[in-house]
């Protein structure tokens, strides 16, 4: 038995160790009793988080009493018995240990009332009410009479486990169940090499600051959900103060930091995310001065971040709201030339400059004026709407008489009188799937530090400039093969080798190999290679905003085909700046792109 082989150190001592040492100890403890308390096997026997000690019986744990004592002394579990004051614990959690018949028996011992309880939640509610109003002050003792001594994982141990899981998986979405999902064959992760040469957290304080920032973000989210605006304001103020006093090493611009993809694991990154959300809160309440102050703080303290485009755009807009057009224009001009401002944000700032810089405020026309003003081809179609209410979702009667949205109506139009096109309403989803399949070997190539565990669906640097720079040779080799007409062959090979394997962006269930092959064949090698390189160079900035529809059709029996991309807009919809930016880029790559505007049938018709 592991408990007898390794003497458990007190949890407060483990917390003072290096996290790697804590992980070793935790893995040892978890192997039997502690592990059993964490697994679904135990959770299926009780409602949790408390468990009856008398119900725990495993062949591996020959001396349960000794194991429980060791865990309690070390601080890994809490124990509830007749000798312990139950007031420090949540009574509802303790009640969850009881079965329905046991709760009914306890109710029989209480003063009679007219309440008839049969369901679990009703019984729990009645017992809680009796306990809180003093009718049944001895409820804890009555519970323990039925259950005997109960144990649960302590809060400190739970926090330590949370820390280990976050360090191992590097996110808040995965936990120990990931091991089970892989073990049972439910989830399969890609094959890659974990070459780790640098630690994400250089010092223990880096980790602690990061965890504190995450807790503030959690409080912020919960406060917004519960409309506790006082707490929201406190989270914003705290984040602003901490961001301003962060050590300079987090925000220093050095060649190493420019290539670093660990930045999102820093406290400053989390606080900047909280403040970005805080800006929208203040703007909603028209507190423009507060929003401007935060935006200026972000732009002055976080130098290398893709969100700088959003911050600069919002700052320019808010300054205009405050009646400061000259400062608004200067902000837009600065943002438009910032190398970290890209895609839709850059396009939006350029359009603002053109609108605000008219004489006499500015006389010189920016060099990008002609590009921004390029015409985008439009097609108009009519449909019979179900309703015309302002703010309601656009619903039309399709060509087949069934109700549908504007995108489905446009698909039917293009399949019929629009030219006999096949297609899908996918936005960027189908392109992300094609990118993942054709660039699989690029994504999962052996690069230092981008894979920290065997449970990743993408390298850590995907979405940063480091992704393409670190793989330029292998990426260009793949792109050359695509340009040379080998995309369909590469697609089939990747599909057969990796089908069902989890990969960021790849949607195995939504798209068939037949449709993907048709798309690749009809788009053409040169256009497809240009689009995939665009995503490889800046995946994060361009992974959203692509046209709604991807259409294709074959022109002859020999396989010649063509493709079209269509952005669909309802009667009151307008193109977003990101959508405009994508359309112009696709036009540069030689794609056939247009906007399809759907309007209600005229009264005359």
Which two tokens mark 459?
A: 């390298």
| Confidence at residue 603, expressed as pLDDT on a 0 to 100 scale | 56
For 82-102, b/e burial (b = at least 16 CB within 10 A) is eeeebeebebeebbebbeeeb
Choose between 172 and 268: higher pLDDT.
268
CA 106/CA 581 separation, integer angstroms: 67
Interacting residues of 331 by C-beta distance below 8 A, sequence separation 6+: 312, 315, 316, 319
Q: Lowest mean pLDDT of 82-91, 179-188, 449-458, name the range.
A: 82-91
Q: Lowest mean pLDDT of 117-121, 365-369, 450-454, 469-473, name the range.
A: 117-121
Band the pLDDT of 536: cuts 50, 70, 90.
very high
| Confidence at residue 202, expressed as pLDDT on a 0 to 100 scale | 84
Residue spans per domain, the chain: 11-169, 200-248+261-373, 378-600
| Confidence at residue 7, expressed as pLDDT on a 0 to 100 scale | 41
Query: Tens digit of pLDDT for each residue in 314-360?
Result: 999 999 999 999 999 999 999 999 999 999 999 999 999 999 988 88
Mean pLDDT across the chain:
85
Average of per-residue pLDDT across 413-436: 92
CA 99/CA 120 separation, integer angstroms: 8
Q: Return the bridge partners of 378, or none.
A: 595
Please name the residue ranges forming H helices in 97-194. 100-108, 120-132, 139-147, 155-169, 177-183
Angle at 403 between CA 401 and CA 407, to 5 degrees: 110
- Of 530, 565, 594, 577, nearest to 430 (Cα)? 565
Query: Tens digit of pLDDT for each residue in 543-557?
Result: 999 999 999 999 876
Average of per-residue pLDDT across 246-274: 71
Interacting residues of 19 by C-beta distance below 8 A, sequence separation 6+: 163, 164, 167, 201, 204, 207
CA 36/CA 74 separation, integer angstroms: 17
| Confidence at residue 40, expressed as pLDDT on a 0 to 100 scale | 44
Q: Using the Cα atoms of residue 321, residue 325, residue 326 and residue 330 in order, give the sign of their dihedral.
A: positive
Tracing tokens 């039917």 back to the chain, one arrives at 412
Asked whether 223 and 229 are in contact (CB, 8 A), the reply is yes
| Confidence at residue 47, expressed as pLDDT on a 0 to 100 scale | 53
Which two tokens mark 1?
A: 């038995």
Choose between 496 and 76: higher pLDDT.
496
Asked whether 362 and 329 are in contact (CB, 8 A), the reply is yes
Quick check: bond before 71 cis, omega within 30?
Answer: no
Average of per-residue pLDDT across 258-262: 66
Asked whether 175 and 165 are in contact (CB, 8 A), the reply is yes
CA 94/CA 599 separation, integer angstroms: 60
Q: What is the CB neighbour count within 10 angstroms for residue 332?
A: 26
- Tally the residues of the chain: 605
Interacting residues of 514 by C-beta distance below 8 A, sequence separation 6+: none
- Of 458, 423, 446, nearest to 539 (Cα)? 458
Band the pLDDT of 30: cuts 50, 70, 90.
very low
Which two tokens mark 278?
A: 């805080």
DSSP 8-class letter at 549: E
Asked whether 75 and 12 are in contact (CB, 8 A), the reply is yes
Q: What is the pTM of this model?
A: 0.84
Average of per-residue pLDDT across 419-433: 93
Query: Tens digit of pLDDT for each residue in 139-168?
Result: 777 888 888 888 888 888 888 888 888 899
- Of 282, 320, 315, nearest to 298 (Cα)? 315
Interacting residues of 585 by C-beta distance below 8 A, sequence separation 6+: 534, 542
First to last CA, the chain: 83
Band the pLDDT of 604: cuts 50, 70, 90.
low
Which two tokens mark 392?
A: 């309601």
What number does CATH give the domain 200-248+261-373? 1.25.40.10
Query: Tens digit of pLDDT for each residue in 82-130?
Result: 656 666 677 787 788 888 888 888 888 777 665 677 788 888 888 887 7
Backbone Cα Rg of the chain = 30
Which two tokens mark 602?
A: 């005229």
Which H, E and C letters describe 415-441, residue by residue? HCCCCCCEEEECCCHHHHHHHHHHCHH
């Amino acid at each position: 038995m592991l408990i007898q082989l390794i003497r458990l150190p007190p949890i407060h001592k483990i917390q003072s160790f290096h996290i790697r040492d804590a992980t070793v100890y935790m893995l040892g403890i978890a192997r039997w009793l502690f592990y059993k308390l964490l697994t679904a096997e135990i959770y299926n026997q009780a409602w949790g988080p408390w468990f009856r000690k008398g119900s725990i019986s495993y062949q591996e744990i020959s001396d349960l009493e000794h194991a429980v004592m060791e865990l309690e002394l070390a601080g890994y579990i809490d124990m509830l018995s007749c000798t312990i004051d139950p007031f420090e614990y949540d009574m509802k959690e303790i009640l969850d240990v009881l079965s329905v018949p046991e709760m009914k028996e306890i109710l029989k011992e209480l003063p009679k009332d007219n309440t008839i309880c049969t369901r679990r939640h009703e019984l729990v509610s009645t017992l809680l009410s009796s306990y809180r109003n003093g009718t049944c002050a001895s409820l804890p003792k009555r519970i323990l009479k039925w259950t005997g001594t109960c144990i649960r994982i302590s809060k400190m141990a739970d926090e330590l486990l949370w820390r280990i899981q976050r360090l191992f998986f590097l996110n808040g979405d995965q936990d120990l169940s990931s091991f089970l999902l892989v073990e049972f064959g439910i989830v399969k992760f890609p094959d890659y090499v974990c070459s780790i040469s640098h630690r994400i957290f250089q010092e223990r304080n880096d980790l602690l600051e990061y965890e504190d920032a995450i807790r503030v973000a959690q409080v912020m989210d919960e406060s917004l959900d519960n409309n506790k605006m006082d707490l929201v304001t406190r989270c914003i103020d705290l984040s602003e103060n901490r961001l301003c006093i962060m050590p300079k090493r987090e925000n220093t611009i050095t060649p190493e930091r420019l290539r670093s993809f660990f930045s999102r694991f820093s406290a400053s990154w989390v606080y900047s995310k909280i403040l970005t959300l805080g800006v929208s809160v203040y703007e909603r309440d028209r507190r423009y001065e507060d929003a401007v102050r935060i935006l200026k703080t972000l732009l002055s303290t976080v130098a290398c971040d893709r969100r700088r485009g959003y911050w600069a755009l919002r700052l320019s807009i808010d300054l205009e709201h405050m009646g400061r057009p000259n400062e608004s224009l200067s902000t837009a001009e600065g943002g438009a030339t910032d190398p970290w401002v890209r895609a839709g944000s850059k396009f939006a700032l350029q359009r603002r400059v053109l609108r605000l810089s008219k004489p006499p405020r500015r006389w010189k026309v920016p060099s990008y004026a002609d590009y921004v003003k390029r015409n985008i081809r439009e097609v108009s179609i009519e449909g019979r709407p179900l309703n015309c209410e302002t703010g309601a979702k656009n619903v039309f009667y399709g060509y087949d008489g069934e109700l549908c949205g504007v995108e489905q109506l446009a698909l039917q139009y293009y399949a019929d009188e629009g030219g006999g096109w096949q297609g899908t309403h996918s936005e960027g989803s189908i392109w992300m799937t094609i990118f993942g399949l054709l660039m699989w070997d690029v994504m999962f190539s052996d690069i230092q530090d981008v894979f920290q565990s065997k449970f990743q669906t993408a390298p850590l640097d995907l979405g940063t400039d480091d992704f393409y720079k670190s793989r330029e040779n292998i990426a260009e080799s793949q792109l050359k093969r695509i340009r040379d007409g080998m995309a369909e062959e590469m697609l089939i090979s990747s599909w057969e080798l990796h089908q069902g394997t989890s990969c960021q962006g790849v949607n195995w269930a939504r798209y068939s190999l037949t449709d993907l092959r048709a798309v690749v064949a009809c788009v053409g090698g040169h256009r497809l290679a240009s689009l995939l390189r665009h995503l490889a160079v800046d995946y994060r900035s361009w992974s959203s905003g692509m046209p709604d529809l991807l259409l294709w059709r074959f022109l002859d029996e020999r396989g010649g085909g063509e493709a079209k991309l269509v952005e669909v807009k309802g009667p009151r919809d307008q193109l977003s700046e990101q959508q405009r930016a994508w359309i112009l880029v696709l036009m540069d790559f030689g794609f056939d792109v247009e906007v399809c505007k759907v309007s209600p049938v005229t009264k005359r018709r």
